Amino acid sequence: MHKGKGFWDYVNKTATCWLWKGGMTRGYGVYAVWRGNRYRNTRAHRVAYELTIGFIPVGLEIDHLCRVRNCVNPAHLEAVTHRENILRGIGPEMLRQRHLAKKQRKAAETA
Ligand SMILES: [Zn+2]
């Protein structure tokens, strides 16, 4: 675990992104945070957000404006709803194409 080491000791601050050097899960930095009675692995960027900006409202996710998953630079983080996060991830063009494909399927069914 991270005895005696603070959260920011695991961060490599570059000119743009602050890269997480600790443990990772699926590209995201993870950091064990003491919650109540045990350590819980928490996404590092969520910890960074809470340490610098504040409490994350229930139901909101932290989106990376820079799209670098292990970045913990609070200037690159924004609290958004899950839906918004997904929309941003796949982009409007992908959504438009999905919508079109659906429409075409429907047209084919009723023809
Ligand atoms: Zn970044």
> Domain count of the chain?
1
In a domain, 17, yes or no: yes
Asked if residue 101 is part of any domain, the answer here is no
Specify if 92 maps to a domain: no
Distance 38 CA to ligand 1 centre (A): 30
Which CATH number goes with the domain that contains 70? 3.90.75.20
Confidence of residue 89 (pLDDT cuts 50, 70, 90): confident
For residue 53, report the distance from its CA to the centre of ligand 1, in Å. 15
Angle, CA 84 vertex, CA 79 and CA 89 arms, to 5° = 100
What integer pLDDT is reported at residue 60 of this predicted model?
A: 93
Cβ atoms of 41 and 47 closer than 8 Å = no
Q: What is the pLDDT of residue 103?
A: 84
Q: How far is the CA of 100 from the centre of ligand 1 (A)?
A: 33
Residue 55 within any structural domain of the chain: yes
Compute how many other C-beta atoms are within 10 angstroms of the C-beta atom of residue 21.
12
Sign of the CA dihedral 40, 46, 28, 1? negative
Q: Give the closest residue to 62 by CA, choosing from 40, 81, 89.
A: 81
The mean predicted confidence, pLDDT, of the chain is: 88
Q: Is residue 2 part of a domain?
A: no
Residue 25 pLDDT grade (very low, low, confident, very high; cuts 50, 70, 90): very high
Q: Which domain holds residue 31?
A: 7-80
Cα 34 to middle of ligand 1, angstroms: 25
